[in-house]
Amino acid sequence: MSSHSRKAAKLIRPLVQRLHPYVPGEQPKILGLVKLNTNENPYSPAPKVIEAVKRAADGRLRLYPNPTAELLREKLAKFHGCQPENIIVGNGSDELLAMAVRAFTEPLDGGRGRNGTPGPSKGKVQFFHPSYSLYPVLAATHGAKAHPVALESNFAIPALPKLKSGKQWDFAAALSFITTPNAPSGRAYGKAQLKELCAAQRGVIVLDEAYVDFARENALSLSLAFPHVLTARTFSKAYSLCFLRVGYFVGSRELIAALNKIRDSYNVNGLGQIAAIETLNCLPYYRETFCKIIHSRNHLSTRLSDLGFEVYPSQTNFILVRPPHFPAAVWLEKLRSKKILVRWFNDPILKDWLRITIGTEAECDALIREAERMTND
């Protein structure tokens, strides 16, 4: 390291120097690639949404957007049967997850107990594992304690009596994230089980429902029934607005007000607000795409199962599969060589599996053809 680099490094907080950043899905620059690695909706936004964004790309670009996404919150409140004060909009739901860590957990040098000793639950960000790999990064960035708790071997949430007797799950943790349906397994969790867990939890719970539009059930009503529960939703995964980054939380006025205190000014761009509002006017179009994706998910699952893949049942826009004949990491590279990109996780629990986004029918068929060739070679 040069002298210049050493001087610069000394200016960086030790906590930041120790961080391992979140690793997003690869965004390659390869023409003709079948991209099945980042759970994007393979279908375009509704035509009216695209037209609304085009119309808004005018002289308004020089102006700041509405600072609280007021019109979008009003629209979402009608959609979910609540008040605008129950909703906060973010630059993608990821921004709101980070804000929740900052608002509800103490760094490890804070959270003092009654006798002045650290109160560990106050600085704890809890989540089931495996789930969204951003959660531990958000905890580390804030200086809080990441507290993963293992799911069952079939990716189920342990029953409440087992959570209580196992003494791993902390019912007093300042903040708990529950990805429902789960990523990367695709497993959905019933509202009744989630309600039972929410009722027993004393800290804040975020039900991360990024993929819920592809599931048979949702639990958003719990965030309006319990004062300590928030539901996270996004316009990215189901509504084809990844490029514009719009997400939101639904919850009690008190929790939403606390989050607003630390929200960046003008945190949601104006074009994103306009696109999201128009999206809510085009729900029949998106429901048709959800049906197409679910149909393709079932077709792809069946065909891969016939080829010897172990396919985990999914209620999302992706499937988790254990491939035959070769290790999953080898399948990743073999498919990449054929311009088909899927996701592999270098994790002890997941290293034998691939996560495959559900693409168009043509994209799924391309994957099936290559899988057939590789299993027959």
Cα(first)–Cα(last) distance of the chain, in Å? 48
- Interstrand relation of 175-179 and 204-208 (parallel, antiparallel or unpaired): parallel
Distance CA 217, CA 188 (A): 8
In order, the DSSP letters of 232-244 are: EEESSTTTS-GGG
Distance CA 76, CA 86 (A): 10
Residue burial 93-105, b: 16+ Cβ < 10 Å; e: rest? bbbbbbbbbebbb
The number of beta carbons lying within 10 Å of the beta carbon of residue 177 is 25
Write down the pLDDT at residue 45.
98
321 — alpha (psi -120 to 50), left (phi > 0) or beta?
beta
Number of helices (H), then strands (E), in the chain: 14, 13
Q: Which tens digit of pLDDT belongs to each residue from 306-320?
A: 999 999 999 999 999
Write down the pLDDT at residue 26.
73
Q: Please name each of the domains of the chain with its CATH number.
A: 24-45+284-376 (3.90.1150.10), 59-281 (3.40.640.10)
The number of beta carbons lying within 10 Å of the beta carbon of residue 109 is 9
Q: What is the pTM of this model?
A: 0.93
8 Å CB contact between 318 and 352: no
The number of beta carbons lying within 10 Å of the beta carbon of residue 16 is 10
Residue tagged 């960035």 (tokens):
141
pLDDT mean values, one per 10 residues, the chain (377 residues):
73 78 73 90 98 95 96 98 98 97 87 52 95 95 96 96 93 97 97 98 98 97 98 98 97 98 96 98 98 97 97 97 96 94 94 97 96 89
